Structure 1
Amino acid sequence: MARDRIRATVTRLQRHYRSQRTAPTSTLVHTPHPYTRALGLTAVVLLGAWLGLLIVGSVRTPVGPMDTSMTLRPSLSGGTKINVSPLGALELDTHVAPIRLDVDVDQLDPARSQALVEHPERLSGLQSEVTSDVTDGTTGLALRSCVAVVSGATALGLAVYRRPRRALAAGGLALALLAASGISAYATWNPKSVLEPKFSGLLSSAPSVVGNARSIVTEFDVYQKELARLVTNVTKLYDATSTLPTYRPDPATMRVLHVSDIHLNPASWHIIGSLVEQYDIDVIIDSGDTMDHGGAAENGFLDPIPDLGSPYIWVRGNHDSAATQRYLEELDGVHVLDDGRAVTVAGLRVAGMGDPQFTPDRSVAAQGDPAERMAGIRLASALRDQKRAGTPVDIAVAHNPVAAHETDGEVPLVLAGHIHNRRNEILPRGTRLKIEGSTGGGGLRALESDEPEKVRTSVLYLDRRTKRLQAWDEITLGGLGLTTAEVSRHLPEENQPGATPSPIRFG
């Protein structure tokens, strides 16, 4: 079918061009505008270049213990995509250009893989080997792509125009476009893009590929070193038989799972429990709207919380009633925060303020942002009291971001929810505000929408000694009826390689 469509397109272009050449003299006044001819030539060049890349623009090359195929593809955004079938894919924002590099991991060479397993000391030399392999592969791919693009555009130009000069012009324009794309990719090349990879498929559930906060800060400083790390981890994944590798947590790193706006979605407890086990979570922090209407009939929904496997810190949202709060206070392992109350859980000092409004109660008029700001001011005052008492707070929690903004300068990190979208910002006085999306995918009300809302949660990596944020993973799952999964790694600006530590003091 594809060949028939290509043949039909070429035939139409030939007929159009011949009709212009054989038109009677009396119709010359209707000769197409030069812009039209230029657009036609551009279409021929782009189609020919694409066909050339499709047919011959790929190289097979070994990268460490893996056999890979490298291909250049047209793209609006650029970047690099590494497909590790059947485990999933890894996307890197390496460059901005109208071309994307696709790397398909075809298979793992048994002999080379076994040699790494039997001789772990060879991993120390894997970095230089991978760097050399990638350099050789991309160099060969660049040369092959040039030939493919020029040949494809020239051949299609000759088939359409039947004039060698026009065909050569098409080939030359294709080469110029490829050169411009290469220059754009070189000018925007970002070797540190590996600091924020995006995983999909089964890879998104393998924290051993993602790493830990300690290794991120100390070992992600060199691009070649991370290439070796990726190859090594893929080797381990392929070497596994039925399960993904067991994650070994870094004892110097504390892991906090931030959830919000569950809105009565029972699937959320299964998701949270799985993440607690997979990431070895120390503390769960829920920034509210766990319920939907806040009635006593909904309280049984909260019963799975004590069995999640980690302490649960909770603040009231505008969909959570006082009855909901009292019910949670009676559950084992749950720490309810309100009125600026602070608790120390697993060595982490957390304070929070419940939402001052309960919007499902139609008998009480909503007070809006002024009430939220006043709640935030009370929370900020409580944070100052904690500092004066010698027990500074590590993380503050409020449901509404309006209230969270009022804690700026009083705490290193404040968590919020409410808007069902992720946001991350540094407030004017240095506090980092992290707003989580809906861990319940908007709750059962998502069934009313045409498109399901995605399930969002984040794993925060904190230094166990200083309690400062080192990195975080944003986990995004497909909504109701979907099975997609992504994990994106992010680092604070002060933890980027070569950055100077922040001088801000909160204690």
Structure 2
Amino acid sequence: MDLTRWAQGIRRAATGRTVRLISRAVAGSVVAVVGVWLGMALGGPVLATVGPVDVGMSAELSLRGETVVDAHPLGSLLFDTHDAPVRLRVTLENIDSNQARAMLEDPRLSDRLPALLEKELREGVSALALRSIACGLAGALIFSLIVFRGLRAALAGLLAGVVMIAGIGTTALLTFRPGSVVEPEYTGLLAGAPSLVGDAESIVTRFESYRGQLVKLVDNVSQLYDAVSSLPVYDADPTSIRILHVSDIHLNPIAWNLVRSVTAQFKIDAVVDTGDLTDHGSGPEDNFVKEIGRLGVPYVFVRGNHDSKATQRAVAKQKGAIVLDDSVKEVAGLRIYGLGDPRFTPDKSVPVDSDLESLAALGRAHAVRLGQAFEPVDLVAVHDPTIAKGFSGSAPMVLTGHSHARSTELLPSGTRVLVQGSTGGAGLRALEHDEPTPVMASVLYFDRETHRLRAWDDITLGGLGEQSVQIQRHVENDPGRTISPEPTIAPSPTGSTVGTATP
């Protein structure tokens, strides 16, 4: 009996020691992490010179691995450069615009400038890395000593800091993605976006390398900081066709502010609206469409399920408007096919069929008709994504809306379907939820010779605001891919109309 109690006592003591050791290890690790963070934050930042720009650099622990370029007050660029839990922040402190202009215009530097900027940037990042490591380890040692008041615990904290920094550094190196520089995410003023982000066609065709993009970034920032009274005019690339895709405006006048601003800032060649411009398709709503005639660029429109035939006629009367309904038109150099939505949801006397397969079949039927009755097209515009997918293989690109949520999908046929969010923040629906529906639109960059999509910018305005925006750049990986029609047995496009439940 005494032996049993003795054994139980030993087990309790061993368990207690194990718990204490684990607790001390966890506490020591937490203290080491906090110490590394404090050390990097307080002593890590460095000031470097990259060409004509004085650049502040800092590294900070973060749940998301990324690189942020802060060009305050113009905005910031975010690059998804690595997966390690550390954020590299680059702040443009000062720029000598005269030196920048001289460097960029000097033909003797045209070949050496990328390498020069890359060398200076690498030196700055190396200095930041060494300083951050030293300060992080010092922070882990000092903070552990302060908390635990013992040399052994402080050395253990230092060791934990070494392991953590080594792990972060190794992960950052193994997951580094230099190609992410061509797909920045911009946040800031809409007016500053085109110059700071840069032209997509230029990036794809002339700045595919990391070094080349450094020159473009310095050039854009130099222009912005050199402008005293106004921002510079966006230098439109003559080899690209720029299309603004909007959808589901739903009578929200904020949408026209966005369309006007983007059209001017990005030098848009044409606007494509994939429907639901109105809410009820009624006569009083016709006045809302008059803004189309004031844009000064072609406005391609396909009817949505909230737009009546009367709305379609009202749009057609506006200057620059091009209504497509099972028809093709060449606009800004692109052959565009458009199909109006077969439903009119606000008319409660007309039954609305919610059979998705019927919608898909309708899309396939019109795709067959498109292939038989028209020459090949570059772009298809419809309202409903289900109908849109029926055009798989009929064109390289299909634009659609309806769902009030942006997404894109590359179909097996090679056709890319881009579903636009609501450019009107879903109209009054924006106020039905705790957070307003974002206002969304996209700028599409097409090659002027091949008529294929090269890149696109997704523009998002938080809620109902219109001053600060977020822009995400995407690059088409295989713009010259083969589009293979999918063999289908499609019914005649004529007959009863079908539909889905309205969002």
Answer yes or no: same fold by TM over 0.5.
yes
- Distance in 2, matches of 1:380 and 1:28, equals 75
- Give the superposed CA RMSD: 2.2
Structure 2 CA distance for aligned equivalents of residues 111 and 300 of structure 1: 50
Match of 1:164 among 129, 140, 151: 151
SS of residue in 2 equivalent to 1:488: strand
User: In structure 2, what residue type is equivalent to 1:253?
Assistant: S
Alignment partners' CA distance in 2, 1:419 and 1:294: 19
Aligned positions, number: 472
C-alpha separation between the residues in 2 aligned to 1:37 and 1:89? 41
Q: Distance in 1 between matches of 2:15 and 2:172?
A: 44
Q: How far 1:108 moved relative to its partner?
A: 1.4
Is contact 2:198–2:220 with CA below 8 Å preserved after alignment? no
Partner of 2:444: 460
Equivalent residue for 1:398, pick from 366, 377, 382? 382
Unaligned runs of 5+ in 2: 1-11, 486-503
Q: Write the mapping of 1:88-487 to structure 2, written as runs, cut at 5 A.
A: 88-109=75-96, 112-113=99-100, 115-116=102-103, 119=106, 122=109, 124-202=111-189, 205-338=192-325, 340-368=326-354, 369-387=356-374, 391-481=375-465, 483-487=467-471
Residue 463 to residue 116, structure 1, CA distance change in 2 (3 Å) = same
CA–CA separation in structure 2 for the residues paired with 1:117 and 1:408: 45
The C-alpha deviation readout for 1:361-406, integer Å capped at 9, x for no partner, is 222222012442243123202321245xxx2111111100000011
- In 1, distance between residues paired with 2:466 and 2:223? 28
Cα drift, residue 268 of structure 1: 1.1
Query: Following the alignment from structure 2 to structure 1, what is the Cα–Cα distance between the partners of residues 474 and 390?
Result: 25
| Cα separation, partners in 2 of 1:280 and 1:203, compared to 1, 3 Å | closer
| Distance of 2:197 and 2:215 partners within structure 1 | 14
For normalisation by structure 2, the TM-score amounts to 0.89
Label 1:477 to 1:150 Cα distance change in 2 as closer, same or farther (>3 A): same
How many angstroms does 1:59 deviate by?
Answer: 1.0
Q: Paired residue for 1:82?
A: 69
Counterpart of 1:459, as a letter, is: V
Distance 1:35 1:320 in 2: 66
In 2, are the aligned partners of 1:212 and 1:253 still within 8 Å (CA)?
no
C-alpha contact 1:63 1:130 (8 A) present in aligned 2: yes
Decide which moves more: 198-207 or 269-278.
Answer: 198-207
CA 1:151/1:324 → structure 2, altered by over 3 Å: closer, same or farther?
same
- The match for 1:502 among 463, 470, 481 is 481
Residue identity in the other structure for 2:333: G
Note the alpha carbon deviations across 1:227-261, whole angstroms, 9 max, x for none: 12111211121111122221222222111111100
Structure 1 residue identity aligned to 2:305: N
Instruction: Output the CA distance in 1 between the equivalents of 2:235 and 2:460.
Output: 23
Mark the CA change 1:360 to 1:155 in structure 2 (over 3 Å): closer, same or farther: same
Cα distance in 1, alignment partners of residues 340 and 162 from structure 2:
62
Q: TM-score, normalised by structure 1?
A: 0.88
In 2, the alpha carbon distance for the partners of 1:354 and 1:218 equals 35
Contact 2:243 2:268 in 1 (8 A): yes
Task: Give the C-alpha shift of residue 481 in structure 1.
Answer: 4.3
**3-state SS of the aligned residue for 1:33?**
helix
- The alpha-carbon deviation at position 203 of structure 1 amounts to 6.9
In the other structure, the counterpart of 1:19 is none
Partners of 2:383 and 2:113 lie apart in 1 by 47
Change (3 A) 1:258 1:111: closer
Q: Quick one: distance in 1 between partners of 2:44 and 2:353?
A: 63
SS in structure 2 at match of 1:245? coil
Q: Secondary structure at the match of 1:424?
A: strand
Moved more, 173-182 or 291-300: 291-300
List, as ranges, runs of 4+ consecutive aligned residues in structure 1 with deviation greater than 4 Å: 26-32, 117-121
With 59-68 and 359-368 compared, the bigger mean Cα shift is at 359-368
